[in-house]
Amino acid sequence: MPIASAYTGYGFSFPRSSRRSLLKQSDEPIETMFDAADRKFMKKALSLAEKGLGMASPNPSVGCVIVNAGRIVGQGRHEYARVDHAEVHALRQAGELARGATAYVTLEPCCHHGRTPPCVHRVIEAGIRRVVVGRTDPNPAVSGRGIEILRSAGIQVDAGLMKEEAGRIIEPFACRITSGLPLVISKVGMSLDGKIGTARNADPSISSPEGKEFGHSLRLRTDALLVGVGTVLADNPLLTYRGKLPKARPLLRVILDPMLQTPPASRVFENPSPVLVFCRDAAPGACRQQLEDRGAEVVSVPGSEDELDLVAVLAELGKRDVLGLLVEGGSRIHWAFLSRGLVDVFYFIIAPLVLGGNDAVPSVGGRGYDSAAEALKFRIRKSFHVGPDIVLEAYPSCSRSIISPWLSSDTVPSGVPDPVTSSDPK
């Protein structure tokens, strides 16, 4: 039986080909439409959105710049706590200078009533003449209609400028709003030979300080961080966000712990960020009580003594408005997510050292595949240095990301499970 069909209780799965056409956006850019000035101002709008990456969830981070006669007259970004959308902040700053100006927005202006009224009406009323959009809004309540409304009001709209960069900023939001499940970002800090621990030391501190800082930039982009109980027992980690940019929403620490072996004295309980422990129904009630007494929330899902139903876990996190989930391991957990086709992007942070050892801990454990032909295939979207380490940003063929390199491909390898998508987007 294909793995995906085992989970139909949580929604439905649909073939990869139809998923790809669903995710394809209608804002294919015509590059000649944009000049150097357009690129410069969209870059500015993108950097506003990037700096606010930790401030917008559960909404997308959006940046907006208003330009009149070649000069920036207003700029803004969306922060969830401040309610107003990016365009509203920028238009307020521009005042009368918005008349006849061009607005650069990383995301299509909204046309629906949510916590705020539609931005398109504000843009029209302000007298904006041209709107340059990075990416259409994947929210089904908007999804191209914002652009249509602006065009029918006589505004010139040019969409798709720096679409990749604009897509990366809203990658978790897009996944959650279209599927009900968070974007799953896996991360491993490993040696050149793919090890994360030695036979005698479970946490040999492999990544450089810059590699660790990059790890925190992933914690900034995500709402929850997940580890298996093995990692808690072996490393006793804090699992907090300690990066440079501000983060408004506290990182939800998620522990997969079928039999509730998490020690109540663990360091995860020593700080105010929330802890959510997933276990199976049959887990001992006394342990549950002890963890709840330490402030954890304990939720049971179907599963065995070794393994919990990961789709049930993702569905529960999606219900809690978790847009991005960072899976930090250990090796069994990485295999569990990968082998079920549930990883959307994998960051390998590779330190220039070799640990060796027959009994060293591999980055990905489990049963493994029997041949290269069967193995899960990846495309490397980017590779870059962070200090002495190298980061590979790798997208598996099962990725649901709106910027997955597989979306532009018609040849998806066979034998890889399709991820399951919830039928209820809220």
318 binding partner (options ligand AOF, Zn ion, none; Cβ < 5 to 8 Å by kind): none
Q: Tell me if 109 contacts ligand AOF by CB under 6 A.
A: yes
> Could you tell me which stretch among 8-16, 106-114, 272-280, 331-339 binds ligand AOF (CB under 6 A)?
106-114
Measure the CA–CA gap between 67 and 100, rounded to whole angstroms: 9
State the amino acid at position 89 in one-letter form.
Answer: H
Shortest approach of Zn ion to residue 156 CB, angstroms? 19
Active site residue 87: yes
> Could you tell me which stretch among 136-144, 232-240, 242-250, 260-268 binds ligand AOF (CB under 6 A)?
136-144
Q: Tell me if 119 contacts ligand AOF by CB under 6 A.
A: yes
The SS3 call for residue 396 is: strand
Among 115, 200, 367, 426, binds ligand AOF (CB under 6 A): 115
Measure the CA–CA gap between 34 and 12, rounded to whole angstroms: 40
Binding residues for Zn ion restricted to 53-92, rule: CB under 5 A: 85
Of 31, 50, 87, 307, the catalytic one is 87
Residue 267 CA: distances (Å) to CA of 119, 205, 272? 44, 18, 11
Binding residues for Zn ion restricted to 161-220, rule: CB under 5 A: none
Q: Tell me if 107 contacts ligand AOF by CB under 6 A.
A: yes
- The token pair that represents 42 in the structure block: 């969209």
Contacts of 368-376 with C-beta under 8 Å, sequence gap 24+, read: 368/335, 373/415, 374/415, 376/338, 376/339, 376/341, 376/416
Binding residues for Zn ion restricted to 250-269, rule: CB under 5 A: none
Q: Tell me if 119 contacts Zn ion by CB under 5 A.
A: yes
107 binding partner (options Zn ion, ligand AOF, none; Cβ < 5 to 8 Å by kind): ligand AOF
Instruction: Note whether 67 and 102 are within 8 A (CB).
Output: yes
Shortest approach of Zn ion to residue 147 CB, angstroms? 13
Residue 413 CA: distances (Å) to CA of 4, 14, 335, 349? 16, 16, 19, 25
| 109 vs 303, beta carbon nearer Zn ion | 109
Q: Tell me if 78 contacts ligand AOF by CB under 6 A.
A: yes
Q: Tell me if 86 contacts ligand AOF by CB under 6 A.
A: yes
Instruction: Note whether 96 and 62 are within 8 A (CB).
Output: no
Instruction: Note whether 288 and 298 are within 8 A (CB).
Output: yes
Checking DSSP bridges between strand 195-197 and strand 130-135, what pairing results, if any?
unpaired
The SS3 call for residue 173 is: helix
Q: Which residue is nearest to ligand AOF (CB)?
A: 114
Q: Which residues would be at the binding site for Zn ion (CB under 5 A)?
A: 85, 110, 119
